[in-house]
Structure 1
């Protein structure tokens, strides 16, 4: 597995190839499987490569509060991502991360 990812260095191009891939979020109650279901550009920003949005979906069940969670992926490594619950979608609980 890759190490800890530098969030400032990640771009939409790093995530786009992993659409529909499995990720894992570490929460207080244990590991939660996630699937990356949407990768969208979000306009220009002061960020190199521009802003972008990711939507992850977790299995249905209790919602986790918005917070910074360690999210792991075999190729991208571990990322500390601020995830916000955005409602039921894609057959589960969806969470959004915005890189701006």
Structure 2
């Protein structure tokens, strides 16, 4: 996880990822990637914004995400907004 960069996520914008840490798997779409300044990682800190369905709502926790071209990673997701389309989650990488 410490080697992931903005570029690693930008190439997967608007793609669906599976959340494998709950059963059954839940699908989230990566809808935004934003550079947010300096950080401990190469390339700086960044945030990712994900769109999911209204139900179920994921708890703020480390979740396993998977996408065939991206692979599998553990990411700390936080629910940040409820929209007409469902719940949005953010992950910040510093």
- Same fold by TM-score greater than 0.5: yes
Does 1:63 pair with 2:78? no
Q: What residue number does 1:80 align with? A: 74
TM-score (norm 1): 0.87
Structure with the largest fraction of helix = 1
| Count of paired positions | 94
Tell me, in whole angstroms, the C-alpha distance in 1 between the residues paired with 2:84 and 2:76. 20
RMSD between aligned residues: 1.3
CA distance in structure 1 between the partners assigned to 2:68 and 2:41 by the alignment? 25
How high is the TM-score relative to the length of structure 2? 0.92
1:29 deviates by 3.1
Classify 1:90/1:54 alpha carbon distance in 2 versus 1 (closer, same or farther; 3 Å): farther
Moved over 6 A (4+): none
- CA distance in 1 between counterparts of 2:56 and 2:66 reads 21
